[in-house]
Structure 1
Amino acid sequence: MPNDTASQRGPAPVLFHRAWAIAVIACLTIVAAAAFAAMPGILIDPLHTEYQWSRGSIGIAASVNMIVYGLIAPFAAALMDRFGIRRVALVAMLVIVVGAGLTTVMTDVWQLTLYWGLLIGAGTGSLSMTFAATVAGNWFVERRGLVIGALTGSSAFGQLVFLPALAWIVDNQGWRPAIVTLALTAGTMMVLIALILRDHPADLGQRPYGATEFVERPKADQGAARRTLRVLHSSVRSRRFWLLAGAFAVCGATTNGIMWTHFVPAAQDQGMSVTVAASLVSMIGVFALVGTVLSGWLTDRFDPRLLLVGYYGGRALLLAALPALLGPDAGVVIVSWVVMFGLLDVATVPPTILLCRRAFGADGAIVFGWVNAVHQVGAGAMAVFGGFTRDVTGGYGPVWMLAAALCGVAAVAVFSFARADESAVDGPTARTTPSGEPEKV
């Protein structure tokens, strides 16, 4: 009796490729998850006022959130290979809803660290850039760089959509209704994920977008966690890994760590209202989306290493200038600064993902997950440093200067990667063997 499988029938003819619907749902999922990253900056003052918790201790909770976000990402990528994108996304959203609900009834700062730091960090980390890389890798052959740019840019766009409204709710209704709003949004996304998101084109008898041949769904990896750790063991012995990870840690420190966590309170210190300051951060999100999509387009056409040098160098100059520009009013100068910073904010992601793919082959998404984990460690360290610096010195001046210097170091590191590994980056793809050695495929 002949087997009647989707792969044997071949791809079904379609007028509209399902990959674009999947990309839209993935984008909305990332938007909903990313909205939680916008909250610490507008929670610091209300929590400090209500509970008398120090800004440093609140910063620790934000730091735990960022670090867990980063550490869970590579395991989430492997779990998506094992159990499928849709199942992992549903569980992640459920964890987010539970964490948000518990945060509204907390009474001690350790609970903020547990609920917001651990639970929401784990949920949002599972729906981060590795989620974007996995969706794009499964569903797209053509336009992959563009899709990665759009999906990673949607993280900043999530803050654009929610941050001004959340700031208004916090200002007028309190911080708890703002968190409930986010929890309801996450619950709504669970329904859309269940109805529309699918793991692989082969599940629907289709080819990936742009593929000339039908692609079988890869066999499930039975040892997801083991493979993730094996990839880490193999990649950390590569100088390329540490150059990319170190530079990406600086990216995290100068975006999530300082801009998303401390820009609003820093602007308030200068006399700016919380709603105006939050609107400026959301404007960064607008132009981050534009910049990331543009970066994805550029990554398909130009050397991604040289793009990174330009991005980090430009960010260094902007951060060094910020203390002289930040004041009580949102004038033309600070708005221009916001536009330029937004264009560079998440632009580092598409070239970094592509370099991971080129350097580490089939394990590239998981390697990028570990690189992203280091990104979040950098973000967490800067979130804590910023909070304690504000407590001790009464201002954020030293934080901006350190951030600018770190971006300069990152630009040099990426330039070193470009000069030292020119022949290695575009070699054959590879997957790690059980012994941890790269295996050519």
Structure 2
Amino acid sequence: MHCYDRCIVQLGVTLQKIYFGYWLIIGAFFAEFMSVGVQNYVVGPFMIPMSEEFNWTRAEYTLPRTIGGFVTALTGFIVGAYLDQWGPRRFMLAGALILSLALYFLSEINQLWHWVILNGVVLTVGSALIGNLVVNVTLIKWFVDFRGRAIALAAMGISFAGVILTPLTTWTIDTYSWRFAWQLLALGTFIVVIPAALLMRRTPEDYGLRPDGRSNQDYRKGLTKKATIDFNRSLTRRQALKSRTFYSLVIAFTLFTVTIHVMLLQTVPFMTDAGYDRTTAALMITTISVPAMLAKPVWGWLIDGLQKPRLLAAASSVTSASALFIIVYAANINQLDLLIAGFLLLGLGWGGMIPLQEVIWASFFGRRHIGAVRGAALPFMICLGSIAPIATSYYYDMCGNYDGAIIIVGLANIISAIIILWIKTPEKGRNPS
């Protein structure tokens, strides 16, 4: 056998020893990179050039994101019901195609209604089919003991979108045109998401595996006990909807994540209104994204190690609120260094949002029906959260600045921290501390 052949054989043997859940983390990383990237991280750079060319108000430009919230809610409710049965792959393949086509046709728009339908409906459906709900529900089923780290590592793709997509999109718009930028995003989405979708699988049990890659020897040692309890104590969608805990989590996490919806959309115009150029403004998204990305593995380690996700969620929320207050103050006194510090702190707070949210939902309701439960929560969370982006733009149109709106978002984060700490465990649930 030639040396090359021996290397290929050895590589195959080595790959077979790697728990397949780790490949799912890689696929989820790239899926979330494109899903959240094209839906949120690139919207800010397009706002001013598109609004100026078509003479739109900022509220009109933001309208698709509000409509998109309701579309995401409906899509998630439907997908969640079948995700537990069918797995993620077919949804993600369909989503990759829909999203790529929507991005391309955005480069051809000439009317506001084109923008609203393509961005608010078509793009949103495609993004939802490859996004957080689909990939995180899958990871929840494949990991229990290392759930925090798995979701945190995959969620690094979201922050990586801010590091790469925001400055790249801004440069492409300023160098070429906003239409070419949409076409480039369409091509990138298709190339990245299709391979990621092909990696995805429903549950480890379908392939004779155990969560976290545990072996039969681990089972005999009792190391799979937590996974067994997590499965057996799972609540169905009907049971979850009857619990007060479900609605408390909806309110808490809506207030928790509203910061992301507002700041990803408004940071670039907020900075340019404060007198900074578009390059500096776009770099603030990167300034948020780098610490958010680097902090995610740390948050994941803390979640799995300390087993205190609610306390950590409150800390993450308060950190984000403090950062928003600093950002508003620094912009008003024109202190770029303090602005950068505020955005760095915001990134640290954001780093814990997604892994903490997913771990807490799974800790309360188990993994067996988590797709249906999370899908049921989306209509409530997103319909409430969708008010924030257009309300922020409306505040700007009325007042000429974003200061009051951003402060209100910070206060919402503090309220979220209080609610999370006081939520009661549902009757069949397991206390996530």
TM-score, L = length of structure 1: 0.83
User: 1:93 offset after TM fit, Å?
Assistant: 0.7
Contact 1:34 1:156 in 2 (8 A): no
Q: Which residue of 2 aligns with 1:19?
A: 21
Which residue among 48, 51, 58 is the counterpart of 1:45?
A: 48
User: 1:328 offset after TM fit, Å?
Assistant: 9.8
Letter in 2 for 1:20: Y
User: 1:142 offset after TM fit, Å?
Assistant: 4.2
User: 1:201 offset after TM fit, Å?
Assistant: 4.2
More moved, 244-253 vs 364-373:
364-373
Q: Which residue of 2 aligns with 1:390?
A: 396
User: CA 1:13 to 1:190, structure 2 compared with 1: closer, same or farther past 3 Å?
Assistant: closer
Which residue among 391, 395, 406 is the counterpart of 1:400?
A: 406
Q: Which residue of 2 aligns with 1:415?
A: 421
Residues of 1 paired with 2:241 and 2:396: CA distance? 35
Contact 1:72 1:125 in 2 (8 A): yes
Letter in 1 for 2:288: I
Contact 2:327 2:338 in 1 (8 A): no
Residues of 1 paired with 2:411 and 2:397: CA distance? 22
Q: Which residue of 2 aligns with 1:180?
A: 183
Q: Which residue of 2 aligns with 1:363?
A: 369
SS at 2:148 equivalent = helix
User: 1:372 offset after TM fit, Å?
Assistant: 4.4
Residues of 2 paired with 1:150 and 1:187: CA distance? 22
Residues of 2 paired with 1:153 and 1:330: CA distance? 29
More moved, 363-372 vs 60-69:
363-372
Residues of 2 paired with 1:105 and 1:203: CA distance? 44
Which residue among 117, 122, 126 is the counterpart of 2:125?
A: 122
Q: Equivalent residues in 2 for 1:318-333 (5 A)?
A: 318-326=323-331, 331-333=336-338
More moved, 113-122 vs 37-46:
37-46
User: CA 1:231 to 1:52, structure 2 compared with 1: closer, same or farther past 3 Å?
Assistant: farther
Contact 2:327 2:343 in 1 (8 A): no
Unaligned 5+ residue runs, structure 2?
1-13, 220-234
User: CA 1:129 to 1:373, structure 2 compared with 1: closer, same or farther past 3 Å?
Assistant: farther
Which residue among 82, 93, 97 is the counterpart of 1:94?
A: 97
Which residue among 384, 387, 397 is the counterpart of 1:381?
A: 387
Letter in 2 for 1:333: L
Which residue among 315, 320, 344 is the counterpart of 1:315?
A: 320
Contact 2:99 2:127 in 1 (8 A): yes
Contact 1:251 1:375 in 2 (8 A): no
Letter in 1 for 2:299: S
Q: For residues 305-362 of structure 1, what are the alpha-carbon distances to aligned partners after superposition, in whole Å with 9 as ceiling and x for unaligned?
A: 1112212222222212221112697833222211111011141222222222222223
Q: Which residue of 2 aligns with 1:271?
A: 275
- Percentage identity across aligned positions? 21
User: CA 1:71 to 1:358, structure 2 compared with 1: closer, same or farther past 3 Å?
Assistant: same
Find out whether 1:237 has 2:242 as its counterpart.
yes
Letter in 2 for 1:188: I
SS at 2:80 equivalent = helix
Q: Which residue of 1 aligns with 2:225?
A: none
Find out whether 1:104 has 2:110 as its counterpart.
no
TM-score, L = length of structure 2: 0.84
Which residue among 139, 152, 161 is the counterpart of 1:136?
A: 139
Residues of 1 paired with 2:322 and 2:112: CA distance? 36
SS at 2:386 equivalent = helix
User: CA 1:190 to 1:321, structure 2 compared with 1: closer, same or farther past 3 Å?
Assistant: closer
Contact 1:248 1:372 in 2 (8 A): no
User: 1:202 offset after TM fit, Å?
Assistant: 5.6
Q: CA RMSD in A?
A: 2.8
Unaligned 5+ residue runs, structure 1?
1-11, 216-229, 429-441
Residues of 1 paired with 2:241 and 2:19: CA distance? 38
User: CA 1:237 to 1:51, structure 2 compared with 1: closer, same or farther past 3 Å?
Assistant: same
Contact 2:106 2:115 in 1 (8 A): yes
Higher normalized helix content (fraction of residues): 2
Letter in 2 for 1:121: T
Residues of 1 paired with 2:210 and 2:58: CA distance? 51
Which residue among 228, 251, 254 is the counterpart of 1:249?
A: 254
SS at 1:395 equivalent = coil
More moved, 306-315 vs 139-148:
139-148
